[in-house]
Structure 1
Amino acid sequence: MNRTKLILALLFSTVGFAQVGIGTITPNSDSILDLDATNKGLMLPRITTANRPLANATNKGMFIFNVTTNAVEYCDGTTWVSSASSPSIYTSNGTIEAGRVVGVTDHVNFDSNTFYIDGTNNRIGIGTATPGTSLEIATGVANTSGIKLTNLVSGSGIASTGDPIGVDATGNVVKLGASNSNFSAKVALTITGTTANPTKATVRENDFIRYRDLGNNQIEVDFMYSAKSATGSAAGNGDYLFALPGGFSFNATEHPFYTSLTPTELDILVNSVGRVRNANWFVSGYNAASYIVPYDATHFRIMTTEGTGSGYPTAMKSSWYGINYANNGYAGRFIFFKQ
């Protein structure tokens, strides 16, 4: 009996001044109790809500398993805090620490498509769960973009050398091309004939066509051809056709094509491009105000109703003071709707 008492005394004396290990002979030096097992766990006291100890400063740090709520609880000195109600950004307000990365391998949908992340295709949808581009906004209301720039309220624009943007027929935001304030670089004016192409003079004072994009599918064109000398030129055959610049095409709905080789004054007026600024033909002292009339998707004619006698109205052509005349020129500026 005395030997047993001695052993117990030595054991509890050791416990009082060192660590206790259960399942290990090398308990953690910073712990008072180190439990080590590969197939067993710690069984907390199982207590109902009604039988829990008081939540006070004395019991602060106490752990139990609440069999009423089936949750681990601890006492914070004032109340029992359940692990089932721990703060979470999914159930209450919370803060994600700086530098955290949230990976989305499939998709995340906030508030029934208010904000949708397609992690598979790297797309974001606002108002839609099927974004077809990197960012798609669907308001559900026709002709309403859903975009509002609240602080963009300046009465005057900001000077920029960038290009304007617009919206295409499918709703995609696109770059419109040349800046509103600047024409494109000048390129040679292409002139062909309805039967045979003419040849320009060897020396030309002017030979260019250029354009600028005005937005809303409107293009402004500026062109000029002039040659004092007719050397090297040939008239070709038929009406002269002038090519649009930049690969543009006339919108056939806005500008119906007119191909008659025997035009009337009314036909020229009806089929001319709206808002013509000027279109002039001049040769050896003769000149006439003219009209721009679309011939096909990419070509236009210069046509005049001025003059008397036979041959009027007419288009600029090989048999009417053609390009092979000295002191000859064609010039104009007009606006059209592009296809």
Structure 2
Amino acid sequence: MKTLFAFLLISYTCFSQVGIGTNTPNSNSLLEISSTDKVFVPPRMTNAQMLAIPTPLIGSIVYNTTFNAIYIYNSLGWKNASDTDNSSLICKKNGGSLTTSINTYYNFPLNHHHVQTQNPLTYEILSSGKIRVKENGIYMIGAQLSVNNMPSGKKGYSLALFKNGVLLGLLNKNESEQTITDYWGTSGMMTFNLSVNDEIEIKYLINHNANLSLVFAAFSFVKIN
């Protein structure tokens, strides 16, 4: 009889609501916590510790002490609960010089010193113009540059993306034709499906044999899905 009673008690407990700080948890709640002077504290850990969790369940919650924010795990990975925009990376700079030569691609002269916006869970800047993506998804990638001393005459140019060392696509390809040395600029944008650990290089080509005076350079990544 004692065994039967214990079994019935365990069965009742497993299928009833649990209340902490209340004796009357809502019938629609599996767990209800009630307090006016105490708080709920999720596990606290560094970003490295969070990423080292082998198989987190969807819906898992931690407090990331590296970024001082609540993170929630979903089908796309760990996400900052306070983020309202799609994960993005923006780098830009004003001034400097732009190396050019005939039929030669150069990486954009932008690195971690030029970051305006970055989600480190999604992007890692490896070197100038070179980024590793850390999440599978669809990314919109854009680039822009301008100079103030493009020489007269025709100059072929292009903005290109390379993935893992192989040309992925051209953001822009055209010819500049100037009657005098003057300001010039170009930009482009495309959308690509990228995978974890893909290394993307943003490059430019300007068919000219001397350095140009850079006015502005920028590139951006936005994870849209």
TM-score by length of 1: 0.25
Please report the TM-score for the alignment, with normalisation by the length of structure 2.
Answer: 0.34
Task: Report the structure, 1 or 2, having the larger strand content.
Answer: 2
Query: Which of structures 1 and 2 has the bigger CA Rg?
Result: 1
Higher relative contact order (CA 8 A, sep 6+): 2
